[in-house]
Chains A and B, each alone.
Chain A
């Protein structure tokens, strides 16, 4: 009888794992300082869990600048792909077309000289307004060294311009060309993320203009997005180009800083966006303690 009880208990214990009901938290003495020689995994495995491929690599490789085949989920590929997004918007962006990185399929990076690092990416890009996606192959050259130079990008995409925006662009252009009531707007989007439907095309236009700055300013150590258009003012039409003066706020993810830029740019349907002047404004400290107070 007692033997049977012990057997039952043993079986039950086996199922539940332990006689006690609760399991304490993992002991921290097991947390390790990862040292290249002590990493258990030395084989690269690819597990596909859901839609995110998990590539398990030696930790040591990650500490050095990622070279060779890139992990598509890790920041080096993501930052380089974001640069491609800015580049594509400078080329193809318009009041009715805005491109966003959708997915990274493959990535590769290597040093091509003492002063340059080349990334090759296969990505998918989404057109936000028409909601279409297309594949792109891109090459990004990041300059290394003391002088801050802009990255060089080349990209070829399949069918990015699927949706024809010509009619809408022409209508907008004609409406604002005549200088009768020059556009003036602030806070796109506002604090609640809201943009008046009439102002959306000018928010898109500002993102395109901002993309020139973001592309110029990008490096392997940055990730830029446009946070807001503080204000945008239309100036008199010049040479058949609509002309705008705008104050934009960029968000740089790695430093978390908000950077202010002033831009002078033009736009027309045939010529796209051209930035005439760009100027970084000094670091604004909202809520700085004013001088001469206790």
Chain B
């Protein structure tokens, strides 16, 4: 009897060991193909059912389903939100790598860090690891396609090139500055504002929830910059000074990790004027903290950032993003003091309304 139990236990243990050996840890410090990222998203949802849901919110030109990871504690109430998208430009491979790292970090921090627990309770994080899926897949095709930027829609009938620059296609001063109407140009802004299905997906999803969003972070490379709205030099955001202050704080946080300098400013000031960007569109919608992150490096490797730089780049960018997110959170949720005040006001109003005397 005992030996039978012992043998069964042994068999069970070996089976379990085999099962865990079977499941390899996801390598966040390597570049991943679209199918790998898709599979990873499914796994993250499966592993964290209480906080993670996959949301399908659109389609690419080639009819792929655009999905995001919604991360947050389900409180049954309408929540404030943080938006992050990566890979709007296909060749910027470090960006999707960062989105994946970001998800891993906040889920890990959620287990142990009270601040992250508070933020995941108060807010939902919407993270799109690869927005321009068609372009990203195309950039993996072979050596000649690695530097593809745009999406893969065919362009107007008389055009013999593919692709619209999704970050010039949003409805934000569309088609005015820093764009080309030549369909073979890398900054071709499309046939009209939001002509592209990928831009439509973001516009509809975020647009229909715009009052919920506190932050809109769009991740790119390269250049080591934090860009604040607007891309058009004639427009200044109402909270420009605040955006700069928080951005500079984020740059300080980034520098403290590995010593890398990120320059903060509007695009027309520190890079070039442009229009139709997702960041500008988000700010025009009223989303207060809207930033473009341009990750490493400064041109030595450019878009083809070596894999041994994925980890340090993600670590510093996470620090920067967290600074902005924490600021937005803390400004919105003033903690116990606000709750106490609210409770007492409610009490006083009730007393007033019912005419009860307190004496």
A: which residues have CB within 8 A of B? 1-2, 5-6, 8-9, 12-13, 15-28, 30-34, 49-52, 54, 59, 62-63, 71, 73-75, 78, 82, 98, 100-101, 103, 128, 186-187, 189-194, 225, 227-228, 230, 249, 251, 253-258, 283-289, 291
Contacts and interface: CB of A to CB of B under 8 A. Distances in A.
A22 B332 contact: yes
A13 B252 contact: no
Interface in B41-89: 80
Contacts of A9: 341, 344-345, 348
B236 A288 contact: no
Interface stretch (B8-16, B140-148, B198-206): B140-148
Contacts of A16: 334, 337-338, 341
Contact of A287 (B138, B214, B249): B138
Interface string B332-359: 1110011111101100100100000011
Interface in B176-200: 180, 184-187
Main secondary structure of the interface of B (DSSP, over half): loop
B312 interface: no
8 contacts: A5-B358, A8-B344, A12-B344, A28-B238, A33-B234, A191-B143, A285-B161, A287-B163
A22 B79 CA distance: 10
A199 B356 CA distance: 86
Contacts of A30: 238
B341 A193 contact: no
A73 B306 contact: no
Interface residues of B, number: 84
A92 B211 CA distance: 55
A49 B340 CA distance: 35
A32 B241 CA distance: 13
A20 B256 CA distance: 36
B231 interface: no
B270 interface: yes
Given A19-B341, A31-B235, A52-B251, A256 B186 contact: yes
Nearest to A24: B211
Nearest to B346: A19
Contacts of B358: 1-2, 5
Given A12-B337, A193-B309, A287-B148, A251 B255 contact: no
B269 interface: yes
A31 B239 CA distance: 8
A192 B252 contact: no
Given A73-B269, A75-B270, A101-B298, 14 more contacts: A8-B344, A9-B348, A17-B338, A21-B333, A22-B333, A28-B238, A31-B236, A62-B269, A82-B299, A189-B304, A191-B304, A193-B304, A255-B187, A289-B161
B125 to A, nearest CB: 17
Contacts of B269: 62, 71, 73-75
A192 B306 contact: yes
A194 B305 CA distance: 8
Contact of A194 (B140, B300, B307, B345): B307
Given A26-B288, A31-B235, A12 B341 contact: yes
B111 to A, nearest CB: 26
B120 interface: no
The 4 closest A-B pairs by CB, nearest first: A225-B299, A193-B306, A30-B238, A50-B252
Interface of B: 31, 80, 138, 140, 143-149, 152, 154, 160-163, 165, 180, 184-187, 210-211, 213-214, 223, 233-239, 244-245, 248-249, 251-252, 255, 261, 263-265, 268-272, 283-288, 298-307, 309, 331-334, 337-342, 344-345, 348, 351, 358-359
A285 B333 contact: no
Given A1-B358, A50-B248, A194 B306 contact: yes
B270 A257 contact: no
B272 A27 contact: no
A43 B358 CA distance: 56
A80 to B, nearest CB: 14
A73 B265 contact: yes
A286 B334 CA distance: 52
Nearest to B147: A258
Contacts of A225: 299-300, 302
A279 B165 CA distance: 28
